Structure 1
Amino acid sequence: MEPRHPPRRHCDPRSYRRPHRHPGPRSCAELGSPAVRGAADPAAEDVRAGRVPAPTPSRRWRARPDRRPWDCGCSAPCTPWCCSGKRRTWPCTTRGRRWDDPGAAWEPFRRAVAEHPDHIAGWMRRPPQTNEVGRANQLIAGLLAVTDALGLPEPPPVRLLELGASAGLNLRADRFRVRAGPGGREFAWGDPGSPVVLDGAWRDGAPPPRLATAAARVPAPVVVERLGCDVDPLDPLDPADALALRAYLWPDLPHRAERLAGALALAREVPARVVRQGAADFLAGTELRPGTLTVVWHSVMRQYVPPAEWSRAEAELDRLGRAGRGPGSGWFAHLAFEPRRVGGVHRFVLTARLGDGPQEVLAEAHPWGLDARATETTALDG
């Protein structure tokens, strides 16, 4: 896949004033991808030492050189060649490959950087677009909780609005199958025939009692609108954009690729729209509708929004919360699955706010939204 914009020539590695350090190379091994760490760690060392040309990163990465996501950025440029079958540049995408030696990823990756600097630079300038489908587990749990909290005889129709929606895959989350326990025998929610199955959704085999009760009471929400925003949206029906989504998944984690493939298949059946717009402007143009529950949700995107824009977005969320008074005006809920500081430690937590009520912490989970559990946390730092 060629980059969408003509790539600039790679820059002198000496122009980076701060080292290419990012928590990603260490965390990607902790999250189950030793192959990516096997490429990311020595990649950073080679760039610092000037042994290979430094790819020109995106404007966002240049602004925070200490936090460049090498875990996604270093793997993405090589994955499209392997997925398309054009080139076996990085062997970790070869079917059946076992990664007993994660260091085996390094030499093929280094050759790719040295031999194809323009291709690498084009990808490194793109913001990562993982659109992780597993995070829908948390968003759906929040949706069921706020719907149940309305206390209505019948759940109202739902409008799903997503900030930082990427390709909008999670705007179809109500069509996913969520399971916990062996074979989903302890907990299951959603369409049994869905191409997207979120196994291992809850660590203890079932959600916390409040969320389990909500799931039983709201077996199938009626979604009447699916609309998202993103500063650089992707089209899941476009083969090139679908390949980009695959490229940003760590290639030695096939279960993530399986979830993505199912979500791409579902996108062909269930329409959703993602507009090219920032979060604050998108919310400024949003109004409630009588008789419907308008839900604004987002997952692991807040860190990418400039502080000034996020302040504007929060003001708009407050406005919508005040407006959601009942059937005549419509109801409003804000759901977020984001990394937040709890007791000085970053944890990925699900928060919910119904109308202008208080924010509640409902659960916490693995960064990809699965293996979720109840949390004793009631307050967040800051």
Structure 2
Amino acid sequence: MDLETAFRNQAEACGRLGSPMYAELLSRAADDVVDGGPTAAVLAGYEDEPGPSALALRLAGSVHRLVLERRAGAVAAYYPSVGGTWADEPGWAAVRELLADQPDAVREWLDRPPQTNEVGRSAALLGGLLELSAAWPGRPVRLLELGSSGGLNLLADRYRYRTRDGRDVGPRDSPVVVEDAWTGPVPTDAAWPRIVERTGSDVLPVDVATTEGRLTLTAYVWADQVHRHERLRGALAVAAQVPPQVRAQSAGDLVDAIDLEAGPDGALTVVWHSVMWQYLDRAEQDRVRSRLDALGAAASDDRPFAHLFLEPTRRSPDEDHEFWVVLESWPSGGAPVRRFLGRSRGHGVPCDWERAGAGDPAPA
């Protein structure tokens, strides 16, 4: 995929996901690439980057970082995240001038993957955990996350969620309230998950206890989506009280180290992840998949195991990829059962819950 196509695709996606500012910004950046302007100069050497590497979002995050650090001059006046107001013509002109004047500063972040650590995705994941809580009531939960970034979704049980029909679940005093979390029959009356272990892994973990770590996560939140910035600030406050443990290791290394016999008696071990699978190469995906199947085969009623994820997934070969919440479990260590619990969005909300059901066989 060439740069122009990648940027136009990302611009369209931003528009669908409620960011008219980034839709316009990246569309104009695509035009500038075609015209050989400052955007093309900044991206020189990245022409062969694949679409899943999200180069457009890496560029947007790098510019946003300079705005947050007060290094972007006139650009800040157009960024809602710092009190500005976006306007297409002057806003793009200011960004284009920044790319021309500070290309090296912009390039500083182009080699790192976007690490939004989107707290809204906790709704999709927590909904799956409620399904598990309904199936295994009262079980202590060992929660392990792949691609954790700053580990904020490991704190999903510390956030409050509000359904579209007005039901509230979760701690009443949480500084995070995920509005419009779910529609449909999510089991909000299930026992609240009792998480006794929460561990994540990331090849480039973000330390949310540091100024640099908080800046990193903030920079990758789209600048005109103020509600997401509010959720992030609340989650960072929770993390200050309950620091997430995120190891600097690959997804494969984390799953290889899982011991189902560890933890308290009867513990339910859950591996989850959200919008990170595309960043693993095929060999790493196969390694993780093989280990998950081995863990499932070793599971028992006394030591159950589940795999829960929110990723672009096809429910059937003739359907398009959508952001499905998928739960895989291995009853009594038998054949895996895959359940499509609900459709979500890239940023997690709203999540349209469908069913728990008996599930569909996982593909071979």
Q: TM-score range by the shorter chain?
A: 0.7 to 0.9
Taking a change above 3 Å as real, the CA distance of residues 304 and 107 of structure 1, as seen in their structure-2 partners, is same
Query: Are 1:136 and 2:122 counterparts?
Result: yes
Taking a change above 3 Å as real, the CA distance of residues 159 and 68 of structure 1, as seen in their structure-2 partners, is closer
Amino acid in the other structure paired with 1:238: T
Contact kept in structure 1, 2:176 and 2:235, CA below 8 Å: yes
Alignment deviations for residues 130-173 of structure 1 (CA, whole Å, 9 cap, x no partner): 111100001101111112213x5xx1111110001011000000
Q: Which residues in structure 2 correspond to 1:2-81 (within 5 Å)?
A: 18-22=2-6, 23-52=9-38, 53-56=40-43, 64-81=49-66
Residue aligned with 1:194, SS: coil
Q: Equivalent residue for 1:339?
A: 312
Q: 1:267 aligns with which of 239, 242, 255?
A: 239
Q: Equivalent residue for 2:107?
A: 121
Q: Equivalent residue for 1:7?
A: none
Amino acid in the other structure paired with 2:217: L
Q: Equivalent residue for 1:246?
A: 218
Q: 1:367 aligns with which of 332, 336, 346?
A: 346
Taking a change above 3 Å as real, the CA distance of residues 62 and 285 of structure 1, as seen in their structure-2 partners, is farther
Determine the C-alpha separation between the residues in 1 that align with 2:141 and 2:174: 20
Taking a change above 3 Å as real, the CA distance of residues 380 and 50 of structure 1, as seen in their structure-2 partners, is farther
Q: 2:91 aligns with which of 105, 108, 123?
A: 105
Determine the C-alpha separation between the residues in 2 that align with 1:167 and 1:346: 27
- CA apart distance, 1:196: 1.1
Query: Are 1:156 and 2:139 counterparts?
Result: yes
Query: Are 1:193 and 2:166 counterparts?
Result: no
Determine the C-alpha separation between the residues in 2 that align with 1:57 and 1:266: 40
Query: Are 1:180 and 2:180 counterparts?
Result: no
Taking a change above 3 Å as real, the CA distance of residues 76 and 143 of structure 1, as seen in their structure-2 partners, is same
Q: Equivalent residue for 1:308?
A: 283
Residue aligned with 2:287, SS: helix
Determine the C-alpha separation between the residues in 2 that align with 1:305 and 1:25: 23
- CA apart distance, 1:381: 8.6
Taking a change above 3 Å as real, the CA distance of residues 174 and 246 of structure 1, as seen in their structure-2 partners, is same
Residue aligned with 1:133, SS: coil
Query: Normalising by structure 1, what TM-score?
Result: 0.84
Contact kept in structure 1, 2:157 and 2:193, CA below 8 Å: yes
Determine the C-alpha separation between the residues in 2 that align with 1:97 and 1:380: 48
- CA apart distance, 1:26: 1.2
Taking a change above 3 Å as real, the CA distance of residues 104 and 33 of structure 1, as seen in their structure-2 partners, is farther
- CA apart distance, 1:370: 0.9
Q: 1:145 aligns with which of 131, 139, 153?
A: 131
Query: Are 1:354 and 2:332 counterparts?
Result: no
Taking a change above 3 Å as real, the CA distance of residues 364 and 66 of structure 1, as seen in their structure-2 partners, is closer
Determine the C-alpha separation between the residues in 1 that align with 2:52 and 2:327: 28
Residue aligned with 2:216, SS: helix
Residue range with higher mean Cα deviation, 33-42 or 125-134: 33-42
Residue range with higher mean Cα deviation, 263-272 or 82-91: 82-91
Determine the C-alpha separation between the residues in 2 that align with 1:147 and 1:274: 24
Determine the C-alpha separation between the residues in 2 that align with 1:241 and 1:334: 28
Residue aligned with 2:340, SS: strand
Q: Equivalent residue for 1:256?
A: 228
Identity %: 36
| Ranges in structure 2 where 5+ consecutive residues have no aligned partner | none
Residue aligned with 2:241, SS: coil
| Ranges in structure 1 where 5+ consecutive residues have no aligned partner | 1-16
Q: Equivalent residue for 2:67?
A: 82
Determine the C-alpha separation between the residues in 2 that align with 1:379 and 1:178: 30
- CA apart distance, 1:193: 0.9
Contact kept in structure 2, 1:160 and 1:226, CA below 8 Å: yes
The aligned length equals 347
Determine the C-alpha separation between the residues in 1 that align with 2:267 and 2:309: 20
- CA apart distance, 1:68: 5.0
Contact kept in structure 2, 1:161 and 1:295, CA below 8 Å: yes
Q: Equivalent residue for 2:151?
A: 168
Alignment deviations for residues 282-315 of structure 1 (CA, whole Å, 9 cap, x no partner): 1111111242111100001111111111111011
- CA apart distance, 1:98: 4.2
Alignment deviations for residues 186-215 of structure 1 (CA, whole Å, 9 cap, x no partner): 311100110111001124xxx41xx32xx3
- CA apart distance, 1:56: 4.8
Residue aligned with 1:349, SS: strand
Determine the C-alpha separation between the residues in 1 that align with 2:51 and 2:19: 21
Amino acid in the other structure paired with 1:358: V
Query: Normalising by structure 2, what TM-score?
Result: 0.88
Contact kept in structure 2, 1:229 and 1:279, CA below 8 Å: yes
Contact kept in structure 2, 1:177 and 1:190, CA below 8 Å: yes
Q: 2:298 aligns with which of 323, 343, 346?
A: 323
Amino acid in the other structure paired with 2:118: E
Determine the C-alpha separation between the residues in 1 that align with 2:257 and 2:126: 24
- Give the RMSD, CA atoms, in angstroms: 2.4
